[in-house]
Amino acid sequence: YTFNRAISKSTGEAEIFLIAQLGKPCVFKLYYPNFKPNIEILAQLKQLKHEDIINVIDYGYFHERFFEIMEFAEGGKLEQHLPIRDPLRLRKIVSETVNAFKFCHAHGIIHKDIKPGNLFFKNADGTDIVIGDFGISSALDAGESRRMTSQSLTVGYASPEMYGIADPADGRVKIYVGREVDYYALGITLIHLWQAKSPFDGLNIHAI
């Protein structure tokens, strides 16, 4: 790999760099200490390739910090192209995102964090939608439709059941999630794309 440039020095959980592997651009995500994504999901994604998902190339540890190397989406995040009010373009976004959902869900992967910042244009001309950032995703076992998991969410895009109620004993929030949470988040995302802001913009988690 060769270093190209920094994409973001701080996302809250990681530093992100543009690098190249034999001349082909890819993204190096270096997590801060004590942060790491769901490794079970990454292991699956490294083996599974799909046209509507940002493919995972490699992952591991570098100087005791977890890293992830993934495919580079030249067109950037959808949140960088707001508003998007072309019905045909929105229809294509829905079609390709749902296509990715069907693939993930068939392999027991629930994304759990769909939003304009995690949908990307694969090509520089703003075409070909791919989903990325599976950092808080959950895995379903064969035959499962829901999974109990810890609360990890983006306020405003998470479905109602993801907010949960804290256990009085230890204060921890446990929630049950299923495939439907991804479709709810996609609906909120479409409103955001159209009006260039979240429908819950300015509201705190209690108001939502």
List active site positions: 113
Task: Say what the alpha-carbon torsion angle 111, 116, 122, 127 is, to the nearest 10 degrees.
Answer: 130
Residue 199 token pair = 């429908």
Angle, in degrees to the nearest 10, between helices 87-106 and 180-195 = 160
For 159, half-sphere exposure in the C-beta direction (CA atoms, 13 angstrom radius) is: 18
Peptide bond into 160 cis (omega under 30): no
Question: Do the Cβ atoms of 127 and 143 come closer than 8 Å?
Answer: no
Instruction: Enumerate helices (H) and strands (E) in the chain, giving the number of each.
Output: 3, 12
Cβ of 49: how many Cβ atoms within 10 Å? 11
H or E stretch at 176? strand 174-178
Q: Which residues pair with 59 in a beta bridge?
A: 68
Q: Which amino acid is at 203?
A: L
